[in-house]
Amino acid sequence: MAAAIAESDANQWAFDLLQNVPGLPPITQAVHILGIAVVMASSVMIDLRILGLAVPSQNLTEMVQRLMPWTWIALAINLLTGLPFILARPYRYFLNPVFAWKIVFLVPAVVLAVVIYRRLGRTKAESSQCSDDQRPTTALKFVAAASLVLWIGVILAGRWIAYSDYLFWPE
Amino acid sequence: MALTTVWTWLEGTELAQHIGISYWFPLLESIHVLAIALVVGSILTVDLRLLGLSALHYPARKIISELTPWTWGAFALSLPTGFGMFMTRASHYAANPAFQIKLVMLVLAGINMAYFHRRSIRGIETWDTASSTPRAARVAGTLSLVLWTGVILAGRWTGHLN
């Protein structure tokens, strides 16, 4: 995979782009961080709401319908803003165990967001008030807790990609 | 001039040197990213409510009161993690234009927030559940969006200047 990318036109294109356009790497990374902030405000807030830790006045069904689309948009933006770096330096990512962890956390995090969306986002929000019949089931709380841990894992691992030497090649 | 002495002393401390050469730097940095994502994410939600663009089902006061503790909690986490990174090369960061811009924008964002919470929030009862928000609230929301985006951008740029 890495070798195929390294020999492709996309590799040359992304490398030149990031190398030659002044300020493009920090700008792209800043947009990536803003995308993470949007995931925090949407999927992660929904997890915290399900767990009864945040925004108690918000109706869970309404919240999922209002916020989950933001998660999908942020994930699309973060794919776009992350991809040029992978295309430009494929070996830095594909040979990096920390990048593998990020993906291992990211895939189930996205799956769980879809699970929560399908479970709650498809039904009609009846009122903006939180009612007892909305009390999350234990199974849903388990899903939310797992989702929360996975998102935190994605974000921490993402930043550690650049520092994998600290973990795998100690002095 | 006195400040340069402080920076030199700070980066010479055992703690700063230890952070600088160990896994502590990336550890602090990754937690810093997590914290600022929550700071900006929670602020973004409040800003969009102030702009009258989202969450109009809920009283503005409810959105503000339920999210502000998360903003402050995350901000409290971003400060020591940020300072831990700063102290490793204090003179370098203090002279780094991106870092200077970040701090200025952070202060402006703080002033904007304080002004809103002290002045513009008066009379919120009259628009708390209304379908639109007053000009002062929209101005505060817009400024906040611009300034926090700038804080993130300048913060990320700091690491690219050597």
- In chain A, where are the structural domains located? 2-168
Condensed to tens digits (0 to 9), the pLDDT of residues A75-98 reads 999 999 999 999 999 999 999 999
* Residue bearing the bigger pLDDT, B120 or B87: B87
Q: Does A162 touch chain B (CB under 8 A)?
A: yes
Count A/B contacts: CB-CB distance under 8 Å.
93
Q: Which two structure tokens, joined as six digits, stand for B52?
A: 């009258």
Residues B88, B16 contacting (CB under 8 angstroms) = yes
Average pLDDT estimate for B157-161: 94
Q: In sequence order, what are the residues at sequence separation of 6 or more whose Cβ sits closer than 8 angstroms to the Cβ of residue A119?
A: A140
Smallest CA–CA separation between A63 and chain B, in Å? 9
Residues A98, A166 contacting (CB under 8 angstroms) = no
Chain B residues near any Cβ of chain A (below 8 Å): 22-23, 25-26, 29-31, 33-34, 36-42, 44-45, 54-55, 57-58, 62, 66-67, 70, 149, 152-153, 155-157, 159-160
Domain that includes residue B41, residue range: 2-158
Average pLDDT estimate for B41-56: 96
For chain B, what is the domain count?
1
pLDDT reported for residue B115: 94
pLDDT reported for residue A169: 67
Condensed to tens digits (0 to 9), the pLDDT of residues A103-133 reads 999 999 999 999 999 999 877 655 444 444 5
Look at B26 and A166 and tell me if their CB atoms are within 8 Å: yes
Average pLDDT estimate for A51-75: 96
B144: nearest Cα among B121, B111, B122: B111
Assign B159 a pLDDT band (cuts: 50, 70, 90): very high
Q: What is the CA radius of gyration of chain A?
A: 19
DSSP state of A89: -
Who among A29, A152, A159 is closest to B26 (CB)?
A159
Average pLDDT estimate for B24-30: 96
Q: In sequence order, what are the residues at sequence separation of 6 or more whose Cβ sits closer than 8 angstroms to the Cβ of residue A104?
A: none
Q: Determine the residue of chain A that is closest to B53 in CA distance.
A: A66
Q: Does A167 touch chain B (CB under 8 A)?
A: yes
Residues B64, B144 contacting (CB under 8 angstroms) = no
pLDDT reported for residue B74: 98
Q: What is the rounded average pLDDT for all residues in chain B? A: 95
Assign A166 a pLDDT band (cuts: 50, 70, 90): confident
Q: Determine the residue of chain B that is closest to A155 in CA distance.
A: B34
